[in-house]
């Protein structure tokens, strides 16, 4: 390494678990996203809501210094600054692969896997010290897929039941009055798939609801492309139809991005700082085990979620469908990120029970080859809002206490699943990716009732366990690895499932002082 260059902290990558098929095209033009370090830090749950304009204004001056350093660096390496956004702390550089390799000390190769061919790398990135000290992450050189949608289709089961999405929200007591999320916008983050207007029309007709206003938003050139990926289409349909069932009056903005760490982080920062659609709630149904992320991508996404708290966006993410191992085959427990972020409300899954027309005693979801994710984070310490929780010891021997996942839960079992319309067909789908948009819909109602964006809600939720149906039966064990439900918070279903009106009233009352 030349004397004037240093390693960019957290950029280390292992080689992809895929077949290397040759070098990357040196003349391919690509765009990388550089996220600048934020000034100062705060504990999760401690930030007051300040709004998008205030955050943008205060970042103008500090951003100018960082962009000057990066602009000079780009010029020295035949790269161009193609976008900069002080609110997002984002600078995007464009150039040939060979110039990007020289700029960041990387060697890029092409790899083949079942989903196609992608560009990847191994080792750490480097840059001059002043640039490395200014940036939090450099994303986009490596384009390996980072996440999977957290949905599971129901296997054939004659005795299994299923429900229209608004029937589930009614069972959870979502209030129909005084509003239905009017004036609110829910952001959905999608790393594939597309919105089908025909599916939306058919689904909401079945629910006897007017279809919501849906706004597809392109991130980094990605777009809504229905009909190319059945699982991704199923995820988009599930998210739209469940969120819309919970808050029929809300607008739904769907942010489509590439399934890479760059695409994922860019989508979140774009949604958080979107001054046109102004979402107040975000639902994320994609993720992967913490162990599969680079430190710089985790840092950049965590900063984006801190931004969300500052501007008043409540974020909900699926806790995963691979039980306590999160589908990782190393014999250890893992939790899913971004649900494990302490700035995010992690959403676990239950099996719905209905007695007559009323909600019965739910149990932890574990069926159809999957089950709710949950456990103890290996990346994040115990946040203050979980200080009073009696968490079980980590399932991994010698592991330290950490942030517990999930925070809340909702119906996710395909055997008590959601009736949705996907690519023109009626399907029954479950997975924790149903729980996240359901909670997002509920918080659109809470924002409307409060008359403002409530922001990060963990403190209020953990202080009010009576606003939940406590889940006390079942487990998310994969073999012997995992956790069991218990009274109070547990690492399968968190605090429990919502008593809808009670949740809304908590935030409406808090807003009134």
pLDDT by residue (tens digit) across 300-348? Answer: 999 999 999 999 999 999 999 999 999 999 999 999 999 999 999 999 9
Q: Are residues 219 and 331 located together in one domain of the fold?
A: yes
Q: Where is average pLDDT lowest: 130-144, 173-187, 433-447, 478-492?
A: 173-187
CB 272 within 8 Å of CB 204 = no
Q: Are residues 291 and 428 located together in one domain of the fold?
A: yes
Q: Are residues 152 and 263 located together in one domain of the fold?
A: yes
Alpha helices (runs of H) in 207-339, residue ranges in sequence order: 230-246, 261-272, 295-311
Region 436-462: mean pLDDT is: 96
CATH number of the domain within which 481 lies: 3.40.50.200
Q: Are residues 206 and 122 located together in one domain of the fold?
A: no
Q: For residue 165, what are the domain limits?
A: 148-512
Residue 30: the pLDDT is 97
pLDDT band at 219 (very low <50, low <70, confident <90, very high): very high
Distances (CA, A) of 372 to 220, 305, 343, 381: 32, 23, 20, 22
Q: Could you count the other beta carbons within 10 Å of the beta carbon of residue 452?
A: 14
Residue 313 has phi, psi (to 5 degrees) of: -90, 120
Task: Give the residue from 139, 172, 206 where a domain finishes.
Answer: 139
Distances (CA, A) of 177 to 240, 280, 461: 21, 20, 21
Higher-pLDDT residue of 34, 18? 34
Q: What is the pLDDT of residues 319-332, one digit of tens each?
A: 999 999 999 999 99
Task: Give the residue from 89, 121, 139 where a domain finishes.
Answer: 139
Tell me if residue 128 falls in helix, strand or coil: strand
Q: Are residues 233 and 173 located together in one domain of the fold?
A: yes
Q: Are residues 223 and 161 located together in one domain of the fold?
A: yes
Question: Which of these, 145, 127, 177, 502, lies nearest to 288 by C-alpha position?
Answer: 145
Q: Are residues 178 and 207 located together in one domain of the fold?
A: yes
Please check the confidence at residue 158 and state whether its pLDDT lies above 60.
Answer: no
Rg (Cα) of the chain, in Å, rounded? 22
Can you tell me the distance from the alpha carbon of 270 to that of 89, in angstroms, rounded to the nearest whole number? 11
Please check the confidence at residue 357 and state whether its pLDDT lies above 90.
Answer: no
Q: Are residues 350 and 420 located together in one domain of the fold?
A: yes
Region 429-453: mean pLDDT is: 96
pLDDT band at 509 (very low <50, low <70, confident <90, very high): confident
Can you tell me the distance from the alpha carbon of 138 to that of 125, in angstroms, rounded to the nearest whole number? 8
Query: Which tokens go with 496?
Result: 């429990």
CB contact set of 280 (below 8 Å; sequence gap of 6+): 184, 185, 186, 312, 313, 314, 443, 444, 447, 453
Query: Which tokens go with 101?
Result: 């390799």
Q: Are residues 83 and 165 located together in one domain of the fold?
A: no
Question: Which of these, 372, 379, 191, 405, lies nearest to 293 by C-alpha position?
Answer: 379
User: What is the overall mean pLDDT for the chain?
Assistant: 94
pTM for this structure? 0.96
Distances (CA, A) of 290 to 380, 440, 490: 10, 23, 20
Query: Which tokens go with 185?
Result: 């916008």
CB 232 within 8 Å of CB 256 = no
Q: Are residues 49 and 77 located together in one domain of the fold?
A: yes
Can you tell me the distance from the alpha carbon of 271 to that of 54, in angstroms, rounded to the nearest whole number? 16
Q: Are residues 18 and 160 located together in one domain of the fold?
A: no
Give the torsion through C-alpha atoms of 146, 402, 307, 510, to 10 deg.
130
Query: Which tokens go with 144?
Result: 């390996």
Tokens 């974020």 label which residue?
Answer: 315
Distances (CA, A) of 501 to 277, 445, 512: 26, 9, 16
Residue 2: the pLDDT is 61
Residue 57: the pLDDT is 85
Residue 423 has phi, psi (to 5 degrees) of: 50, 40
Q: Which percentage of the chain shows pLDDT scores above 90? A: 85
Please check the confidence at residue 135 and state whether its pLDDT lies above 70.
Answer: yes
Task: Give the residue from 80, 112, 139 where a domain finishes.
Answer: 139
Q: Are residues 350 and 491 located together in one domain of the fold?
A: yes
Residue numbers annotated as active site: 235, 239, 433
Q: Could you count the other beta carbons within 10 Å of the beta carbon of residue 37?
A: 16
The total of structural domains in the chain comes to: 2
Query: Which tokens go with 506?
Result: 């908590």
Max mean pLDDT among 47-51, 174-178, 351-355 falls in 351-355
């Amino acid at each position: 390494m030349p004397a004037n260059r240093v390693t960019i902290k957290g950029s280390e990558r292992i080689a992809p678990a895929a077949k290397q098929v040759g070098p990357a095209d040196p003349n391919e033009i690509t765009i990388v996203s550089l996220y600048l370090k934020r000034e100062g830090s705060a504990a999760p749950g401690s930030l007051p809501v300040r709004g998008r304009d205030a955050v943008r204004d205060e970042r103008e001056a500090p951003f100018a210094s960082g962009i000057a350093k990066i602009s000079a660096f780009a010029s020295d390496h035949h790269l161009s600054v193609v976008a900069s956004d002080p609110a997002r702390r984002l600078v995007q550089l464009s150039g040939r692969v060979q110039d990007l390799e020289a700029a960041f000390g990387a060697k890029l190769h092409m790899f083949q896997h079942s989903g196609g061919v992608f560009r990847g790398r191994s080792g750490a990135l480097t840059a001059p010290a002043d640039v490395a000290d200014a940036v939090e992450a450099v994303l986009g050189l490596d384009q390996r897929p980072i996440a999977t949608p957290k949905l599971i289709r129901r296997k054939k089961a004659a005795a299994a039941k299923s429900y229209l999405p608004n029937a589930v929200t009614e069972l959870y007591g979502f209030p129909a009055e005084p509003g239905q999320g009017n004036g609110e916008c829910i952001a959905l983050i999608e790393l594939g798939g597309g919105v089908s207007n025909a599916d939306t029309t058919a689904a909401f007709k079945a629910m006897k609801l007017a279809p919501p206003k849906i706004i597809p938003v392109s991130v980094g050139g990605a777009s809504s492309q229905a009909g190319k990926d059945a699982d991704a289409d199923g995820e988009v349909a599930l998210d739209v139809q469940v969120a819309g069932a919970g808050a029929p009056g809300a607008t739904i903005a769907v942010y489509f991005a590439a399934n890479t760490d760059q695409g994922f982080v860019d989508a979140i920062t774009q949604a958080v700082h979107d001054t046109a659609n102004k979402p107040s709630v975000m639902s994320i149904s994609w993720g992967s085990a913490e162990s599969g992320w680079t430190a710089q991508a985790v840092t950049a996404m965590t900063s984006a979620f801190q931004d969300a708290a500052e501007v008043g966006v409540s974020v909900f993410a699926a806790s995963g469908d691979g039980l306590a191992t999160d589908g990782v085959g190393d014999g250890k427990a893992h939790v899913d990120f971004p649900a494990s972020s302490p700035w995010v409300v992690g959403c676990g899954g239950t099996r719905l029970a209905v007695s007559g027309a009323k909600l019965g005693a739910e149990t932890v979801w574990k069926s159809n080859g999957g089950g709710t994710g949950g456990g103890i984070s290996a990346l994040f310490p115990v946040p203050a809002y979980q200080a009073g929780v009696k968490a079980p010891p980590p399932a991994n021997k010698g592991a330290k206490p950490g942030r517990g996942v999930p925070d809340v839960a909702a119906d996710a079992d395909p055997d008590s699943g959601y009736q949705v319309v996907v690519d023109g067909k009626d399907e029954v789908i479950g997975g924790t990716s149903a729980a996240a948009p359901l909670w997002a819909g509920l918080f659109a109602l809470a924002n409307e009732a409060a008359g403002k964006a409530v922001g990060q809600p963990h403190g209020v939720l953990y202080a009010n366990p009576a606003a939940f149906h406590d889940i006390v039966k079942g487990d998310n064990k994969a073999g012997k690895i995992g956790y069991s439900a218990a009274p109070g918070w547990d690492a399968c279903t968190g605090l429990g499932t919502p008593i809808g009106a009670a949740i809304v009233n908590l935030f409406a009352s808090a807003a009134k002082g």
